[in-house]
C-alpha cells in the first residue's frame, strides 16, 4: 500500500475531489486526483475516477490548469 505524502479534500455539492501526493517504489512522486460522486446507475453507491500526474508532467499540467481556470473568470 502506498501512503500519501500530502492529502487535501475539496467538497463541491455531491462531488468530492481528493488530491494526494504519493511516492512510488522508485522514490518518484506523483499526484493522484480522484473524483467521487453518486453513481448514475445507483445513487446509493459512489463512483470514483482518478488520474495520475507524474513529476515530469507536473509543471505543464499546472500551467494548463491555471490557463483553464483563467477562462472560468
Look at the chain and count its residues: 73
C-alpha gyration radius of the chain:
14
Evaluate whether 21 touches 31 at the Cβ level (below 8 Å). yes
pLDDT digits (tens, 9 = 90+) for 4-54: 899 999 999 999 999 999 998 888 999 999 999 998 888 789 999 999 999
pLDDT, residue 3, reads 73
pLDDT, residue 26, reads 87
Q: What is the pTM of this model?
A: 0.84
Q: How far from the centroid of its chain's Cα atoms is residue 36's Cα?
A: 10
User: How far is the CA of 20 from the CAs of 28, 29, 35, 42, in angstroms?
Assistant: 14, 10, 12, 27
Amino acid at each position: 500500500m502506498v501512503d500519501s505524502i500530502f492529502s487535501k479534500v475539496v467538497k463541491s455539492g455531491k462531488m468530492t475531489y481528493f488530491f494526494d501526493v504519493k511516492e512510488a517504489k522508485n522514490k518518484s512522486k506523483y499526484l493522484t486526483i480522484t473524483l467521487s460522486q453518486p453513481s448514475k446507475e445507483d445513487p446509493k453507491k459512489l463512483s470514483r475516477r482518478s488520474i495520475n500526474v507524474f513529476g515530469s508532467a507536473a509543471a505543464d499540467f499546472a500551467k494548463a490548469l491555471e490557463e483553464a481556470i483563467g477562462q472560468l473568470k
